[in-house]
Amino acid sequence: MGLGKEVREAIAKRAAKEIKSGMIVNLGIGIPTLVANYVNDSSVMFHAENGVLGTGPSPVPGEENPNLCNAGGIPITAAKGASYFDSAMAFALIRKGLLDMTILGALEVSDEGDLANWIVPGKRVPGMGGAIELAQKAKKVITVMNHTDKYGNPKIVKACSLPLTARKCVDMIITEMAVMSITNDGLQLDEVFEPYTLEEVQEKTGAPLLIKQPPTTISEGRS
């Protein structure tokens, strides 16, 4: 089951708090595209693999520019000082390690930070996009995702069953239930979204949770 609009916005808003002044950040397809709406720092530059550095918030409905979109074909705006280039240059920026952060969707994440997000075997996809490069080369990788699949099975697991995008690349996971960090000691639970409880988060997580201190409760933006 998909997440409602307010829940998706709450996840994006929480992810935006990880972005610091001066960062170059890539936003994946889906929930990640909403993150730009919650960043009001003009020194932050958003990067798109189709050749834009300096994307802005989502355009007002009815004011979309048909010639301006992100790598997923979603309409975007351009911030003051934005630059345009070809995809080769866009990927060169990624592969050179110049991105401070990428925020991606995920199908599965392991408790060691392995990421599976580019294909479900047997399903047709248009291509793997830039996820493999982004996951390996960005200085910080955050995944925003449903905590479980449509059948209620955990998407945060001990070992991924789907083809991997990259190994040990994820630093932080944000779902509708919780915020978790991948640490050297294990999968650490940092924050819990209301109305969920710590026990519910553990029940729906397919790997043990490390709890060094009582997790913070997040209540804003939920319904």
Cα separation of 192 and 211, whole Å?
Answer: 12
Catalytic, 200? Answer: no
Cα separation of 50 and 83, whole Å?
Answer: 12
Do strands 172-174 and 52-55 pair parallel, antiparallel, or not at all (unpaired)? unpaired
User: Are 175 and 120 within 8 A, CB to CB?
Assistant: no
Task: Copy the structure tokens of residue 86.
Answer: 């070809």
Cα separation of 23 and 117, whole Å?
Answer: 24
User: Are 194 and 172 within 8 A, CB to CB?
Assistant: no
Which residue of the set 6, 9, 18, 49 is catalytic? 49
Active-site amino acid positions: 49
